[in-house]
Amino acid sequence: EHTRNSRIPEGLAGGTEGKFNEKATQDFVDIDLDDVMLHSEVNLPIDFLVNQTLTLGTEWNQQRMKDLSSNTQALTGANTGGAIDGVSATDRSPYSKAEIFSLFAENNMELTDSTIVTPGLRFDHHSIVGNNWSPALNISQGLGDDFTLKMGIARAYKAPSLYQTNPNYILYSKGQGCYASAGGCYLQGNDDLKAETSINKEIGLEFKRDGWLAGVTWFRNDYRNKIEAGYVAVGQNAVGTDLYQWDNVPKA
């Protein structure tokens, strides 16, 4: 899948962030995203002890982006916070890339006519943030002819975006957008991020009769390593501008 976003350049600093840049030398800039997804799975009926359907599968996803706009925040001159050590002031690469390889398995087991148990497991390897295992367990229990009790617990996974892991993606604030810096700060992409994960729990009751369907569900999500703009500066340049990065919040 190829997506091209042609847009008027936007501001990357202070009050102009996200606004169309009236002083831009280009009428439009292009952001090109190539997203390749390969997916394969097989369903295997198994008649052993109980009726089962085992699903095995694999995925491969590659994202490649060329962004001629978002990586162009200047580091010298007006409306900047000065140079950052180790980062080019004007010639940062517009390219970013990430790949995810996944394996997954799920087994749908009919223990009785009214009880279905479905365990699952997924493995993801991200080319930047590394490995992740995501187990899951779901149970469906019939309660008479009209009601079904459904329960589940699963570990969910979300990889950071191409911007969040790209050190060439930099935003600048003169102070209002900084957590604890009155004199201005930069926010930079961080290629040491971890993926976001969460433990999702739910329990619900479903009613079904004569074409009518209703249900009520309770759920709770506990997040780990949620990605946010950092609260602690990781450095300061020669003119006193603090440098923040995208960071993981341990629990949320």
pLDDT (0 to 100) of residue 89: 76
Q: How many domains are there within the chain?
A: 1
pLDDT in tens, 135-171: 999 999 999 889 999 999 999 999 999 999 999 888 8
Provide the residue range defining the domain that includes 81. Answer: 2-251
pLDDT (0 to 100) of residue 198: 95
SS (H, E, C) 27-84: CCEEEEEEEEEEEEEEEEEEEECEEEEEEEEEEEEEEEEEECCCCCCCCCCCCCCCCC
Determine the longest span between alpha carbons in the chain, in angstroms: 73
* Contacts for 49 with CB less than 8 Å, ≥ 6 apart: none
pLDDT in tens, 10-63: 655 554 555 555 555 567 788 889 999 999 999 999 988 899 999 999 999 999
pTM of the model: 0.80
The amino acid that residue 36 corresponds to is V
Q: Return the CATH number at 227.
A: 2.40.170.20
DSSP state of 160: P
Name the nearest CA neighbour of 67 among 96, 104, 110, 88.
96
**Mean pLDDT of the chain, nearest integer:** 87
d(CA 162, CA 129): 11
d(CA 181, CA 239): 13
* Contacts for 46 with CB less than 8 Å, ≥ 6 apart: 52, 53, 54
pLDDT in tens, 87-120: 887 778 889 999 999 999 999 999 999 999 999 9
